[in-house]
Structure 1
Amino acid sequence: MKQQVLTLLLLTVHFCSSENQYSTLGGSVTFSPGRDQIRSIVWKFGNDKVAEYDPIFEQDVAYYGDFKERTTLDINSGNITITTLTEKLKGTYSVEVNNEVLGTKFVIELVPKVIIEKKIILISSDGVTCKLNCTAKPSSIEYPLEYKWIPNGQPSEETNILIVNKDEWSKSFTCIASNQGSRDEAAVTAKDLCEGSDLTVPVAVGTSFGIVCLLAPIALYLKKRAKTGNPTSDSSASTTATYSKAPSGTDNDKD
């Protein structure tokens, strides 16, 4: 009795097993029945036929419905490839090999396409190490993003951030962001961002330069004023003198 129960449980587990394939809209998946010596094979989506090969009735593979022009069945391995996926095609598939329905279910799941939002950017640099950031979207609990750097460098606790030592600035680093069915990547040579990009020192230098540029004309003005006296008084006197001569010139013209 125990042996019969164990056998039943094993059969149930085998029948309930599934293989999930993740892709994006417009992507593709390939399923394999994992059987040799295939004489006939039928793939189904729910109760509808997807592709069928049975040389007793037809030497060519038959494709059905929405799967025409987007599906390829390998009659030797039994593998099926479905391309240009749409929302309509996600779900559970099954296969029958040599008139035996296999217990494994094949599931297509569509996930959001990963896109790196920007090029890799510089967060900070102190002239010795430099910190690079790579950010992609979308990120969700259901389809979490994973990041990987090539070469690895020193990934920080946040894996989308990479710390690069100065002796590696000549290297090229590639950020790869991915979820279960999609990936995107971006590359950069570290020195293009890190060299001359000390985010602390340049700020101080820039501030000092600005102060010098501001104070220089003031210092020049004060020096000139010290030599010539009060320019405001001189200017007033000159204006008064010019104004006082005007009546005299007018009287002469009248004579």
Structure 2
Amino acid sequence: MEKRVFTCFRLLSVLLLNSASAQNTNLFFPEGGTLNLSLPVSEALTSVLWKHNGNLVVELVNSDLEYYGRFENRTTLNQNTGRLEIKNITEADSGSYSVEINNKVQSQGYDVTVLKKVPKPEVVVRPLTCAPALERCSLSCEGDTRGDGTVTYSWKEGDGEWKQEERNITIKNSEEIKRVKTFSCRMNNPVSKAESEPHQNPFFQDETNGSSGVIWGILCVVFIGIIIVCLFLYFKKRESIRNICSQRRDGNNTRIINETQPLHANSTALESQPPNSNSTAPESQPPNSNSTAPESQPPNSNSTAPESQPPNSNSTAPESQPPDSNSTAPESQPLNPEESEEHL
């Protein structure tokens, strides 16, 4: 009991005497993390006392170690270095921390702030109907930052560098902005940072899409031209093949006509030509002096007359022609006197 009273009196006196001269360092820790406080010590430790906002946290006297209040079971004191460690800290652990080593109040203190980690932000376009027809739009880096302390914002255009800006920025529908594909934002506080997903620029115009559209148009025109040329060549070749086939058919017909014309001419000549003195009669011709007469004719000394026609001296007339002085009469005509004598 006396020890506790003495300790309280000593702490009160230290607070009163050294409050004006104490210099604190600002430190930030994430909520749920671990708080670590230490001091450079060059002498052996016999006593250590840590306080939070004037309340006892832990006390070491010789080898006796005692933890106080809500810091018990989650606080550790290194007896060799005086280092203080508090786990699973919350916002309630924020405040001023002071230390006394070997019954001497240290001028070095700490102002601790426990902060929440920033959430992953989202880029929101306003108005929501922002389109290339508008002159300007605004972008906002949205996220719940309550309990995050001092939050700063940064913006990035496409794959460019991060630039610290306000939470809300304005973009204009200019040629420079039209070349930016996406916008990203980032939130920062002393214990964390988080980036948004890239958001499509409402004013973005893809130059490659325009050029690719022109290229596709040219390719389509070329393709259609090739099809037209191929069709033209196909029909032209087809027409030439048709002409060649027609010429071949005409040539074959001409050759057949040429081959049949002499036969027709010969047959016509045989039917219509009158016999001359040197011509030989067809089947109906009577035999000459060297020929044999047909069965119905009386034979002469050297030849036999044809079956149906009497012979003359040189030739026999056709069936349809009347006999002349040199021709032989048909089958029904009698022999002339000269032939009778010759026969006799």
Give the TM-score normalised by the residue count of structure 1.
0.48
Which structure has the highest strand share of the two? 1
Q: TM-score, normalised by structure 2?
A: 0.38
